[in-house]
A and B are shown apart, each in its own frame.
Chain A
């Protein structure tokens, strides 16, 4: 598969949120405001880029030669947790506003299934190094674009009359479902 088709597939047709249903928690939780959504998307892209490359190198150059592939889950979790911790410290120092905006969701990237899912998918699809980088960047970009798009819709939605029983998260989930249906058409 060429690099371009991997990139387009990971951004649109095989979007990590809408077709694999990973990372729903930050998708709903941080999409109330555009700025927070963009910050969340960028920090997830950054975390998944660094931890994905480290996980890939560790898997193929340490775990495969020593035949300890069964360690990959615990090792990948370890790498992601360390990366999230480092990035949280950096953001708290350099961008206090973004740190305030994202609040609890920033450390929760460590428990975000999208990040772990992407590092696993890279191994399961048996990509080589450059395909891995393109896939990781595409997935991160797809996540950022989608969460930003979703946040703009939700901000508009705040000014519209919604039935009381649908206000807040229920109507947001319905919109996510409609978006998933639209994105699934890209693949056909």
Chain B
């Protein structure tokens, strides 16, 4: 009985530790954020095949958002506001 309690308590403490570290050292993935702001038509006009491809390329060069033709109006303003907010353009 005492063995079960020791294992359970130790496992609980260690899992809380991992949870804390995972939260503290989270790797923010810019590509996913860009993908959300892109139209999601996968039209291929930008030359990357899919919106996900353009989003991955934008991690290295944010200016590439201009290649997206369907990105217009409010969506475009939203993307530019996001990029400006993160000091990317």
Q: Tell me if A89 and B25 are in contact (CB < 8 A).
A: yes
Q: Tell me if B21 and A89 are in contact (CB < 8 A).
A: yes
Binds A, one of B4-12, B30-38, B78-86: B4-12
Number of A-B contacts (CB under 8 A): 43
A interface secondary structure, majority: helix
Contacting B at CB under 8 A, from A69-89, are 70-71, 74-75, 78-79, 82, 85-86, 89
With contacts A66-B2, A92-B27 known, is A71 near B14, CB below 8 A? no
Closest to A85 in B: B18
Q: How far is the CA of A154 from the CA of B37 in the complex (A)?
A: 48
Measured as residues with beta carbon below 8 angstroms from the partner, the interface class of chain A is 10 to 19
Contact for B6 among A68, A86, A90, CB less than 8 A = A68
With contacts A68-B2, A90-B25, A92-B27 known, is A82 near B18, CB below 8 A? yes
B interface secondary structure, majority: helix
Q: Tell me if B27 and A86 are in contact (CB < 8 A).
A: no
Closest to A81 in B: B14
Which 10 pairs show the lowest CB-CB distances between chains A and B?
A82-B14, A93-B25, A86-B21, A68-B3, A89-B25, A66-B2, A90-B25, A89-B21, A85-B18, A71-B3
Closest to A67 in B: B2
Measured as residues with beta carbon below 8 angstroms from the partner, the interface class of chain B is 10 to 19
Q: Which residues of A pack against B, CB within 8 Å?
A: 58, 62-63, 66, 68, 70-71, 74-75, 78-79, 82, 85-86, 89-90, 92-94
Q: Which residues of B pack against A, CB within 8 Å?
A: 2-3, 6-7, 10-11, 14-15, 17-18, 21-22, 25-27
